[in-house]
């Protein structure tokens, strides 16, 4: 293994706490193939880092399509809309890191803001080579090695090493060689812009006609192209987005379910209940009760 490589073990993972805790880590060493590409952009209330370990892939962030190469680092702040698509062929190795950490520690606020600043970039993707890449990957490899041994000190050591990783990455901003590349055709770009528009306006009136006027495309052509690019009809995508937002409110607020239905763009409670049941496999009240009992802080649609 070269110094600039990232250690990897198929199916290995490291977890500290849950997404509901102020301090949370989940390192997932796995692989994904084209056959299980996401059809739906998503967001969550914790940070995520995606590091591609071989070949190439495509990452869509807020409706913008980005080409990835081996060892590119994608930095996703909480609630940043995204999805990854992998090309046809053998499964692609990747490391996914989900995390939360307390940021309001007296005396460290400025340093933590600086450490997490790369996540706020317009294009939050890093491409490093040589010494800078080795320096950034060194603490991640140390976490990988350390986690294979059992010690009550591991959570503290992993937290310390991960902060070292984030600080080193922030210090390498001037060495970032990532360049935006044109990928896909103009229609593909427009469709993903439309999906971002849906996620930003899910509580408003949305329809095939209104969106086609907004983006200067005929309703028939939009309907056909949307299905071809996303795998869902426009109506299905709007419904999935609204139900996903409702799930988040059911998990993280005490709002009445009827109020959540209106806030998420549904015209009536009966419509909300019917569509929520269809996509989640249970009623909104059962979903809230089940998640509260299990302590789960995030959930996904059953699609």
Structure tokens at 209: 């006609």
Q: Looking at the structure, do residues 215 and 163 belong to the same domain, yes or no?
A: no
> How does residue 35 score in pLDDT terms, banded at 50, 70 and 90?
low
Structure tokens at 70: 């081996």
Residue 165 in domain: yes
> pTM of the predicted model, to two decimals?
0.75
**Rounded distance between C-alpha atoms, residue 48 and residue 189, angstroms:** 23
Q: Looking at the structure, do residues 170 and 211 belong to the same domain, yes or no?
A: no
CATH classification at residue 212: 1.10.10.60
Residue 303 in domain: no
Q: Looking at the structure, do residues 208 and 244 belong to the same domain, yes or no?
A: yes
Residue where a domain terminates, one of 142, 175, 208: 175
The position carrying tokens 């896909």 is 184
Greater confidence, 28 or 196?
A: 28
> How does residue 77 score in pLDDT terms, banded at 50, 70 and 90?
very high
Residue 2 in domain: no
Q: Looking at the structure, do residues 190 and 54 belong to the same domain, yes or no?
A: no
**Rounded distance between C-alpha atoms, residue 82 and residue 150, angstroms:** 35
Count of structural domains, the chain: 2
Residue 140 in domain: yes
Domain residue limits at 213 = 186-294
Residue where a domain terminates, one of 175, 205, 231: 175
Greater confidence, 16 or 293?
A: 16
Residue 299, pLDDT score:
42
Q: Looking at the structure, do residues 27 and 160 belong to the same domain, yes or no?
A: yes
The string of pLDDT tens digits covering residues 101-128 is 998 889 999 999 999 999 998 889 999 9
The string of pLDDT tens digits covering residues 147-188 is 999 999 999 999 999 999 999 999 999 999 998 766 667 788
End-to-end CA distance of the chain: 39
Q: 76: which residues sit within 8 A by CB, 6+ positions away?
A: 47, 48, 49, 50, 61, 82, 119, 124
């Amino acid at each position: 293994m070269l110094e600039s490589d990232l250690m990897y073990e198929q199916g290995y993972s490291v977890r500290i706490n849950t997404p509901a805790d102020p301090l949370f880590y989940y390192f997932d060493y796995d692989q994904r193939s084209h056959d299980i590409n996401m059809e739906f952009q998503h967001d969550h209330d914790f940070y995520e880092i995606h590091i591609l370990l071989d070949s190439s892939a495509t990452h869509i962030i807020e409706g913008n399509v980005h080409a990835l190469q081996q060892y590119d680092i994608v930095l996703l702040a909480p609630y940043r809309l995204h999805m990854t698509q992998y090309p046809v062929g053998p499964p692609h190795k990747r490391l996914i890191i989900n995390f939360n950490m307390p940021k309001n520690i007296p005396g460290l606020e400025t340093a933590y803001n600086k450490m997490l600043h790369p996540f706020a970039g317009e294009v939050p993707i890093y491409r490093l080579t040589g010494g800078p890449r080795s320096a950034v990957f060194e603490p991640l490899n140390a976490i990988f090695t350390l986690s294979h041994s059992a010690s009550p000190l591991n959570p503290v050591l992993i937290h310390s090493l991960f902060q070292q990783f984030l600080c080193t990455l922030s210090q390498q901003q001037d060495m970032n060689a990532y360049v935006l590349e044109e990928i896909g055709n103009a229609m593909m770009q427009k469709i993903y812009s439309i999906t971002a528009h849906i996620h930003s306006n899910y509580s408003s009136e949305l329809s095939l006609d209104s969106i086609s006027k907004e983006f200067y495309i005929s309703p028939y052509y939009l309907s056909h192209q949307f299905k071809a690019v996303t795998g869902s009809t426009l109506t299905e995508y709007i419904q999935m987005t609204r139900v996903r937002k409702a799930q988040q409110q059911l998990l993280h607020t005490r709002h009445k379910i009827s109020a959540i239905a209106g806030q998420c763009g549904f015209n009536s409670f009966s419509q909300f209940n019917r569509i929520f049941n269809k996509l989640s496999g249970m009623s909104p009240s059962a979903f809230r009760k089940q998640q509260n009992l299990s302590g789960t802080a995030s959930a996904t649609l059953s699609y």
